[in-house]
Amino acid sequence: MRFSQLFARLRRSRGWSREILLTGITLALGFGLMPVLIFYAGSLLLGRYEGASVPHMYQSLYRGLQTGSAASWIVLLGPYGLYLLFKAMRLWWRAGARPA
């Protein structure tokens, strides 16, 4: 499925189906894209170290999930947490805009 089709489906959906779709997108970003972004940001800012690679990053992250590492869970659930934070701030903003 292409991104344009995904966003078109997102605009048409309402309620729970929209929440499930957005949750799936954010979890896919956390599991698929965040380790790559962290690896390249670290490489650019701090330089590469011996034995560093993207597959090694995925291995260490998923090994951390098995052992219950809080850092691994934060990396993978970070995009979903940001989505929830944005949603809460939007609801708070709308509640403050209502006349008393």
This prediction has a pTM of 0.71
Q: What are phi and psi of 50, to 5 degrees?
A: -65, 130
Residue range 50-99, pLDDT digits in tens: 888 889 989 999 999 999 999 999 999 999 999 999 989 988 888 877 76
Nearest to 59 by CA among 80, 41, 35, 42: 35
Where do the structural domains in the chain lie, given as residue ranges? 3-97
**DSSP letters for 28-72:** HIIIIIHHHHHHHHHHHHH---TT--HHHHHHHHHHHHHHT-HHH
Confidence band, pLDDT 50/70/90 cuts, at residue 22: confident
